[in-house]
Amino acid sequence: MTKIFNWKDNINENELNNVVEVLGNDGLVILPTETVYGIAASAFSDVACKKIFIAKGRAQDNPLIVHVSNKKMIYDIVEKPNEMEENLINAFMPGPFTLILNRKKCICDTATCGR
């Protein structure tokens, strides 16, 4: 079932809970990023991440980007960043910034292509 939510001016908590439920049930959602619309799934679920590869026809050796909602989440999902990485995190986040870090095992193998 397709649902469209417009959160440009404010986020409806019931709609947000609906999206969280879809992600929690290994579903896919489409969301805007700073440059394009992206297909999102839970990075904790191999089943969900496989759906992204299928939907996009994405090469199986092309890891997914894992978005975080805040700095604390970084430390929940990756091994301790080194000093340089910490400096970059503190300088550029929050914001559209990408780092390649060593994951903790909570991030599924499919998201990282086993890396």
| Distance from C-alpha of 97 to C-alpha of 17, rounded to nearest angstrom | 26
Domain range summary for the chain, segments of one domain joined by +: 13-112
Q: What is the mean pLDDT of residues 15-20?
A: 92
Q: Quote the pTM value.
A: 0.84
Q: Do 66 and 107 form a contact (C-beta atoms < 8 A)?
A: yes
CA distances from 80 to 3, 6, 76, 85 (A): 38, 36, 9, 9
Q: Residue 106: which of 71, 70, 68 has the closest Cα?
A: 68
pLDDT (tens digit per residue) in 38-97 = 899 999 999 999 999 999 999 999 999 999 988 899 999 999 999 999 999 999 988 888
Q: Tens digit of pLDDT for each residue in 26-53?
A: 999 998 877 888 899 999 999 999 999 9
* Record: fold of 13-112: DHBP synthase (3.90.870)
Rounded distance, CA 9 to CA 42, Å? 25
